[in-house]
Amino acid sequence: MIAINLEGKTALVTGGSGELGRAMVRTLASAGADVIVHFHRNLRMAEALVAEVTRAGRRACAVQADVTDAASVEAMRDTAAHAAGLPDIVVANAVIQYDWTTVLDQPTEDFEGQFRSCVLQSVLLAKAFVPHMVKNKWGRFIGINTECAMQCTETQAAYAAGKRGMDGVYRVLAREVGPDGITVNQVAPGWTISENHPDSKDSRGYREHVPLRRRGTDQEIANVVAFLASDLSSFITGAFIPVCGGNIMPTV
């Protein structure tokens, strides 16, 4: 039987205390990984996840950082190295939340914020953690993108701009570190059901345009992350993988 086995690996999930992050932390741990739970403000949830993972028999620690700030990311690296060891798997999941509106009405600060949390976060995480992967000749660098990067519909400008910029970084990084045995991939969720965002009648219009006629769940996103973190995906790199029921379909 083929199974995802991450025993002996350590994973860092940024935004690990958030809605999607929680599912990723739990799923990576259930596959055998030790987990570094990054949080920005939600210490209580991060500590609860650490306790949950520890009870399940894996090592875990919570680390606070501003992932858009170089010094803070470097401090997170040093803290993680001492508490759990440097990660073999990095999942860039954190993102700045903001109110969506039109290009003409969107504050310029929101465009800058999306650049910092999508593009700059990825660059800073790569600088901090990829050298360890290069040294070990094995690593998984996974970014959480979005279906919006391909949709580019009204009011998505700042988010789509940040995620499309992130996409460029990941494709280049995949070419640069591939010779060192490191894969670099992106998971692009659709409008996802999670603990605090259940399905509702308001999403009917969205679901009608999804070929599978439903919204995905946080667990379904986490499943793909775990697959990309494992040796089952050893020959996949530079990929942009939609997990949105076919709502977007990248083509050649």
**Length in residues, the chain:** 252
Q: Which residues contact 58 (CB under 8 A, 6 or more apart)?
A: 29, 32, 33, 34, 35
E strand or H helix at 188, and its extent?
strand 182-189
Task: Give the contacts of 35 (CB within 8 A, at least 6 positions apart).
Answer: 10, 11, 12, 13, 16, 25, 28, 29, 49, 53, 58, 59, 60, 84
Q: Which residue has the tokens 């076919």?
A: 246
Cβ proximity of 49 and 24 under 8 Å? no
Both tokens of 74, joined, read: 């470097």
Residue type, 244: C
CA–CA separation, 239 and 229 (whole Å)? 13
d(CA 125, CA 193): 27
Find the catalytic residue in 98, 159, 170, 206: 159
Task: Say whether 38 sits in a helix, a strand or coil.
Answer: strand
Closest Cα partner for 160 from 106, 216, 124, 214?
A: 106
Can 159 be counted among the known catalytic residues? yes
Residues 229/11, Cβ–Cβ less than 8 Å: yes
Q: How far apart are CA 79 and CA 63, in angstroms?
A: 7
Catalytic residue ranges? 159
